[in-house]
Structure 1
């Protein structure tokens, strides 16, 4: 059966090539290039597929994986992101007449129907309708329509997906032919994403980073707060957890400019994780200087970022979480808030990590301090947010030691141990909470 796949880029996306990959081609990232249709302003591809359900994604410019916003269904994959589902010749079913209006979102989610019904719903559940619904709630009449509201949600608890359907008075069940999924976090953004290239003296090369200008940037001449989001070991500034749309929506809400630096550096033509340090032995590996002395002035001069410590924050996970706390404590005069998830804070006990051996070298550990627990003792005027999973072993102990230092020095902080491990699912679960904490501090 001929099946059409289509991706329509957002206005701010600069796309040179898109490949379609999925279960139908073994997730081959080069087998199925898509073609651009100028009249539709979309990329399309038609495949001949037999009956079945197929998971798939689009690969943009060889770097960014995105799901299909118009997909029939979605499934959560092993790393916690969404795969789109294409159903070829689904079995016929009597779904009745689906009559809801588009749900709306604030700190609540409101569902609407043009007919009297009960709302069947489940948060963060991917089970097919109507099995395993957690709640059945009668909808209330409001004028000519019926509605039911979920929430309000505490900060950090907005669901990733709501599975929902309707049960009408005659007993018929309706999930819009399997499309009863709503993704509150996958929303149209009001701002604009840009990739920037500058010549860095600290890294002795041309380097790229990404920024997000919030919606209000284009309707005001005011300077805005600045928030750095730095990725973990093995990640990139383009395709890490930090690209989640919910982060950008929160930036829209508070009017904050986001910056994603590339935390990898080039050494002998190889990409090496920088740990966000100034290397004492490699001249073109001065990541601290790049962020503090080059990106910050560039954003102030070119994008109206506020030149004020109290309007500047930094956050990261894993290696990026270490980098956020390391930079905020060492350069305390630059940041008012730092956030971290699943990080270690004393690199001196992790000397054998390959990248650290290369960056620091054997004879340089005693001459330099890469221990946040020591640096943070002199911190003033900066709030810290850090969380860790219950299954993180030695890293959990490291976090508890840092909390003890903060308590003894009366450093403002929020610390929590949550169930979980060093996984994307853990970070996605708490990303809202972290961003709300940081943005509220920047907006205070």
Structure 2
């Protein structure tokens, strides 16, 4: 027993970069009347005497609250490097992070942009204000992150997408989307109104700091290129990158490092040391 006590400080020192606190909590959604599991990663420096920036990470179709930690195991070390809190909520199997116009039990826009942010700010030592919050995600979560940030610019100051499904309309029979958007023929307006590529019409330059990337072998490459071109046409500043890779965890497990660096620079520019 004594031997274990003496070994623990050595192990802590050797793995200091991975010393962040990783917890799973239940966050109650009043809009959906259920608990939603959420992974919370706090940096090793965490103290209630300080205030921390927050990055929300949204998983893809078929994933859950634990997907980001599994696919990007470097996240605890990144939380330490950024001195920030990461929040990874369960976004449902195929919610696309909407308040569904056809399913009143699927209210993931309300949950993430309102209920989860309120929970995070009331339970952790976070810095208040949009300039202290960023949101990104992969695939379905990439759609969700941009969709939520554009619609809630008072909540998020920066947003990203990793191989995101930023226009769902070319894929009407895929990923159970009809259960969320409605019938693609008879309820076409639901699809047109709720895709990211059309949401950017409401965005003005400088309102959000945006980073978007997609692999050159990804089936979402064409819709990401379309979004990039539309942002250029609207003269909305953004970072856009294509790099070799497909729609898989190898790609987003690597890409998230670049997105987090982008967010760190955003936080450093817009906030004084807390």
TM-score, normalisation: structure 2: 0.84
CA distance in 2, matches of 1:193, 1:385: 26
SS across alignment from 1:386: strand
Q: Which residue of 1 aligns with 2:8?
A: none
Following superposition, the deviation at residue 40 of structure 1 comes to 6.4
Taking structure 1 as reference, are residues 352 and 288 closer, same or farther at Cα in structure 2, changes over 3 Å only? Answer: same
Q: Which has the higher helix share?
A: 2
SS across alignment from 1:221: coil
Q: Which residue of 1 aligns with 2:101?
A: 280
Taking structure 1 as reference, are residues 194 and 429 closer, same or farther at Cα in structure 2, changes over 3 Å only? Answer: closer
CA distance in 1, matches of 2:213, 2:16: 27
Alignment of 1:81-230 (within 5 A): 188-218=17-47, 221-230=49-58
Following superposition, the deviation at residue 279 of structure 1 comes to 1.1
Taking structure 1 as reference, are residues 305 and 371 closer, same or farther at Cα in structure 2, changes over 3 Å only? Answer: same
Taking structure 1 as reference, are residues 255 and 243 closer, same or farther at Cα in structure 2, changes over 3 Å only? Answer: farther
Following superposition, the deviation at residue 377 of structure 1 comes to 2.7
Taking structure 1 as reference, are residues 240 and 191 closer, same or farther at Cα in structure 2, changes over 3 Å only? Answer: closer
Confirm or deny that 1:439 pairs with 2:267.
Answer: no
Q: Which residue of 2 aligns with 1:429?
A: 254
CA distance in 2, matches of 1:299, 1:241: 18
CA distance in 2, matches of 1:402, 1:432: 22
Confirm or deny that 1:254 pairs with 2:82.
Answer: yes
Query: Among 200, 207, 224, which residue is 1:376 paired with?
Result: 200
Aligned-residue CA RMSD (Å): 2.5
Q: Which piece of structure 1 moves more, 356-365 or 199-208?
A: 356-365
Q: Which has the higher relative contact order, 1 or 2, with Cα contacts under 8 A spaced 6 or more apart? A: 2
Following superposition, the deviation at residue 250 of structure 1 comes to 2.2
Following superposition, the deviation at residue 411 of structure 1 comes to 1.7
Q: Which residue of 2 aligns with 1:409?
A: 234
Confirm or deny that 1:351 pairs with 2:172.
Answer: yes
SS across alignment from 2:169: helix
CA distance in 2, matches of 1:187, 1:342: 31
Given that 2:21 and 2:76 are in contact with CA atoms closer than 8 Å, whether structure 1 keeps it comes out as: no
Given that 1:280 and 1:364 are in contact with CA atoms closer than 8 Å, whether structure 2 keeps it comes out as: no
Given that 2:96 and 2:140 are in contact with CA atoms closer than 8 Å, whether structure 1 keeps it comes out as: yes
Given that 2:61 and 2:140 are in contact with CA atoms closer than 8 Å, whether structure 1 keeps it comes out as: yes
> Which structure has the bigger radius of gyration?
1
* Partner deviation per Cα, 1:387-430 (whole Å, 9 max, x = no partner): 1111224x222111111111122222111111121122222332
CA distance in 2, matches of 1:247, 1:335: 20
SS across alignment from 2:56: strand
Confirm or deny that 1:325 pairs with 2:126.
Answer: no
Following superposition, the deviation at residue 243 of structure 1 comes to 5.8
Taking structure 1 as reference, are residues 191 and 318 closer, same or farther at Cα in structure 2, changes over 3 Å only? Answer: same
Q: Which piece of structure 1 moves more, 423-432 or 206-215?
A: 423-432
Following superposition, the deviation at residue 354 of structure 1 comes to 4.4
Following superposition, the deviation at residue 230 of structure 1 comes to 0.8
CA distance in 1, matches of 2:147, 2:24: 25
Taking structure 1 as reference, are residues 331 and 242 closer, same or farther at Cα in structure 2, changes over 3 Å only? Answer: farther
Runs of 5+ in structure 2 lacking a partner?
Answer: 6-12, 270-274
CA distance in 1, matches of 2:106, 2:24: 21
Given that 2:69 and 2:75 are in contact with CA atoms closer than 8 Å, whether structure 1 keeps it comes out as: no
Following superposition, the deviation at residue 225 of structure 1 comes to 1.2
Q: Which piece of structure 1 moves more, 236-245 or 355-364?
A: 236-245
Query: Among 380, 385, 398, which residue is 2:211 paired with?
Result: 385
TM-score, normalisation: structure 1: 0.54
Alignment of 1:260-339 (within 5 A): 260-264=88-92, 272-339=93-160
SS across alignment from 1:332: coil
Confirm or deny that 1:366 pairs with 2:192.
Answer: no
